[in-house]
Amino acid sequence: MPKIIRFHQLGGPEVLRFEEAEPQRPGKGEVRIRVQASGLNRAESVYMRGRYFEQPQLPSRIGYEVAGVVEAVGEGVDACWIGKPVATVPGFSQNRYGTLGEETVVPVEVLGEYPANLTPVQAAAIWMQFLTAYGALVLVGGIKAGDFVSIPAASSSVGLAAIQIARDHGATAIAVTRSAAKREELLALGAHHVIVSDKEDYPARMKEITGGKGARITFDPVAGPGIEHLAEGAANSGHLIEYGALDGGPTPFPLIAAMTKGLNVHGYTMLQVTHDPAIAAKAKKYVFDRLAEGRFVPKIARTFPFTQTIEAYQYLESNQQVGKVVITVP
């Protein structure tokens, strides 16, 4: 019987359990995937602790992003999917469709084919990060050549995707990290500038880098009191896009900066892309084409075997990685 991952109580990676389950039969509008690789996301870490948008119904499966091969389809699904390599586009219910395991059943509409030049490990590291960054920078921020783009938590997979999108549009990518040890790698991965926020004065450095203009787009997953510094470093009529709450504490509204600069403060998630079929189709084509051309390349920080799933999540939460943590499934 296939092995899956579930948890029976809230907590950190230590609550995850390996369990055997009967092979699932895909229902109407669903497919079954034989999983080859699973990409890990902060969303799952927050979910297993009961702090996500969706509350777990215990015992719960977990997982958003996998690559594998379709091996069965349900009623109403074209049989041409069978045998195709696919990767899942996150945004569905982890309660109902958690993907972490040797096989998973998901709705057919969350499938995304990936270019032949990618491996399954790479394919498990594309949709969450590139679609999240696309929606924020392209749809919300309207990124254009000459823009200055501030990217806090730049060493995350989403942050690295944002760097690649900024460069692709002719913008200046300014990576923000707390760790000086990550500076050189971020520069090597395409950042034009790096600000180490624990050691440097963010608004002063942003003013220096931009010639006093500030960042027209700030793409931030951290929130918390640091939002005041981000607002201070933003450009007049700039976009401050908040897509996470990694700080974990209250986030003040930067009222003075918002008033004096005409700052646009946005709350954002990738669901703003995936829940609209027309936008989702356009976004997936945008990412697919650039991956196929080699203009976008997913960065894999480290891989773990399926048997070390708990260790993989612990590594994710250690903040040591630059890029995506991926589990390989035999």
The pLDDT score that the predictor gives to residue 44 is 94
What tokens were used for 258? 């918002």
Residues in the chain: 330
**b/e burial code for range 18-31 (CB count within 10 A of at least 16 → b):** eeeeeeeebeeebb
If DSSP codes are grouped into helix, strand and coil, which group holds residue 41?
coil
The pLDDT score that the predictor gives to residue 248 is 84
pLDDT tens per residue across span 43-63: 999 999 998 889 999 999 999
The pLDDT score that the predictor gives to residue 330 is 85
Residue 29 is which amino acid? G
Please give the Cα distance from 232 to 314 (Å, whole number): 34
Of 3.40.50.2300, 3.30.565.10, 3.40.605.10, 3.40.50.720, the CATH number of 128-271 is 3.40.50.720
Please give the Cα distance from 183 to 173 (Å, whole number): 13
CATH class entry, domain 3-126+298-328: alpha beta
Same fold, 3-126+298-328 and 128-271: no
Determine if the peptide bond prior to 203 is cis (ω within 30°): no
The pLDDT score that the predictor gives to residue 49 is 95
The pLDDT score that the predictor gives to residue 143 is 98
The pLDDT score that the predictor gives to residue 275 is 92
Is 307 a residue whose pLDDT tops 90? yes
Instruction: Give residue limits of the domains in the chain.
Output: 3-126+298-328, 128-271
Q: What are the φ/ψ torsions at residue 216 (nearest 5 degrees)?
A: -70, -30
pLDDT tens per residue across span 94-144: 999 999 999 999 999 999 999 999 999 999 999 999 999 999 999 999 999
Is 5 a residue whose pLDDT tops 90? yes
Is 162 a residue whose pLDDT tops 90? yes
Q: Are strands 103-107 and 30-39 parallel, antiparallel or unpaired?
A: antiparallel
CB 117 within 8 A of CB 80: no
For the residues of 10-21, what is the DSSP string, one character each?
-SSGGGEEEEE-
pLDDT tens per residue across span 12-50: 999 999 999 999 999 999 999 999 999 999 999 999 999
CB 301 within 8 A of CB 321: yes
pLDDT tens per residue across span 284-302: 999 999 999 999 999 999 9
Write the secondary structure of 159-173 as one string of H (helix), E (strand) and C (coil): HHHHHHHHHHCCCEE
Nearest CA among 304, 263, 125 for reference residue 133: 125
Is 175 a residue whose pLDDT tops 90? yes
What tokens were used for 244? 């996470």
Please give the Cα distance from 10 to 60 (Å, whole number): 10
pLDDT band at 11 (very low <50, low <70, confident <90, very high): very high
The pLDDT score that the predictor gives to residue 276 is 94
The pLDDT score that the predictor gives to residue 53 is 85
Please give the Cα distance from 18 to 94 (Å, whole number): 16
Is 91 a residue whose pLDDT tops 90? no
The pLDDT score that the predictor gives to residue 170 is 98
